[in-house]
A = this chain, B = another copy of it.
């Protein structure tokens, strides 16, 4: 097992007015979920007053989230997927296009990469030998 999930962290700047439109954000999210080849479990999108939209799509393969700051032309998006058949970077591209971004910063993290030292049984409880030493035996 190399890792369990891929997490694409997307910063978009210089976005268009679309990022303040709840229905267009919802549409972009649905398109992105499809591009990611993911299965939608639930979609919740909320418009703030006076501006800004937040939406989260819960997926069988994790989630896709959007938070927009129209006053700065900025969108923070995350696409987190597991499995071998998903395409989180394709979803990122859909969002970049849909939000008419002028500038992007896209990073991908791996999630669920087991720490090497976690295999040692001594991680939380000291081994018996250590306990004995500490007790002065």
- List the interface of chain A (C-beta within 8 A of B): 1, 4-5, 7, 9, 11, 13-14, 41-42, 44, 46, 48, 54-56, 58-60, 62-63, 65, 67, 69, 72, 74, 76, 78, 80, 82, 102-103, 105, 109, 111-115, 118, 123-124
User: Which residue of chain B lies nearest to A45 when distances are taken between CB atoms in the complex?
Assistant: B58
Residue of B nearest to A10 (CB): B111
Give Cα A82–Cα B11 distance, bound, in whole angstroms: 15
The reply to whether B11 and A111 form a contact with Cβ atoms under 8 Å apart is yes
Interface secondary structure of A, over-half rule: strand
Contacts of A1 in B (CB 8 A): 72
Residues of B within 8 A of A13 (CB): 114-115, 118
Report the nearest B residue to A82, measured CB to CB: B67
Q: Kindly state the separation between the CA atoms of A42 and B44 in the bound complex, as whole angstroms.
A: 8
Q: Which residues of B contact A102 (CB under 8 A)?
A: 118, 123-124
Contact A56 B67 (CB under 8 A): no
Q: Are A76 and B11 in contact (CB under 8 A)?
A: no
Contacts of A118 in B (CB 8 A): 13-14, 102-103
